Amino acid sequence: MSKKTILVTGGAGFIGSSLVDKLLLEGNKVIVIDNFNNFYDPNIKEKNIQPNLNNPNYLLYRVDIREKETINAIFKDNHIDVVIHLAACAGVRPSIENPELYQEVNCNGSLNILEAMKNNDVRKLVFASSSSVYGNSKTFPFKETDQVDFAISPYAATKKANEVMGHVYHSLYGFSIAFLRFFTVYGPRQRPDLAINKFVGLISQDKPISLFGDGTTSRDYTYIDDILDGIKKAMLWVDENEKVYEIFNLGESTPITLIEMVNTIERVLDKKANIDWQPMQLGDVEHTCADITMAKTILGYNPQTPFEEGIKKFIEWLECRHV
């Protein structure tokens, strides 16, 4: 793909900032929208963006996607080729505590992005969805063609709503859209509230970790580099095709149980975890596993990072950061 001007919402966060770094290295111009909210320490996001602030191909807007007029003005003031929409209120459990906020940001905020694209004749979009839309589906592994009408958290419901609204803009206005259902992304810059980051820190310090359930729940953990490769391949696909709409699973297709995840961290750290067992929490799905046939076939997506290797890379990154 030739050099592009790419707008990345949520571009200071874990996935967003990692993606922006790669896009800049490839010679693209990148426009970032992020509101640096306090869902976790905003200083982490400030560190994520620091290396790019003096790059002439990097433009940062500290804006909330709910600010409709400002969002539209950003599109009006810049020539934009492709949008990668990652900004959202994240997390299953917090969405149960504050469903109104998740509806406002994830649905109304995303609608502002779609409207700004329509108003300014931008028609290429990669949109972050989530494996949470599958809920406790009995079909395994999860396929994009599965029925996903049975969400078990407000967060999951907003992501399903995004996919439906995206199809409206594809149908009415000819948008080319790839929705990417991410499966439990981990690696350098991972949010501090997520299990792997949290557990590595606590086990390293010989502090107890809380595990919910009996340890048999499982997740399809996906290393950040594989996710970034999938996003870039999806961007190429929407750029090269007119009026397409598709949903793709981006995972590793290898579920890891909760206790396996902890045991892997123990092996890499060479430390034993002090486990505090707790009952399952509301909204948590029992298992996730991605059927990635469509992403492989259409996008050429091909994850390369086995779980233990990814954990080693993440811990090495943490150790380098703290030197």
Task: List the catalytic residues.
Answer: 155
| Strand extents, DSSP E, the chain | 5-9, 29-34, 58-62, 82-85, 124-130, 176-182, 185-186, 208-212, 218-219, 222-223, 245-250, 256-257, 274-278
What lies within 8 Å, CB to CB, of 261 at 6+ separation is 195, 196, 199, 219, 221, 307
d(CA 315, CA 45) in angstroms, rounded, equals 19
Cβ contact 224:186 at 8 Å:
yes
d(CA 110, CA 112) in angstroms, rounded, equals 5
∠ Cα 289 295 297 (to 5°): 125
Cβ-based neighbour number of residue 279 at 10 Å: 7
Instruction: At 273, list the tokens.
Output: 């975890």
∠ Cα 247 252 303 (to 5°): 90
Cβ-based neighbour number of residue 56 at 10 Å: 6
What lies within 8 Å, CB to CB, of 59 at 6+ separation is 29, 30, 31, 32, 78
d(CA 189, CA 201) in angstroms, rounded, equals 13
What lies within 8 Å, CB to CB, of 7 at 6+ separation is 30, 31, 32, 33, 74, 75, 78, 80, 82, 83, 84
DSSP 246-260: EEEEES-S--EEHHH
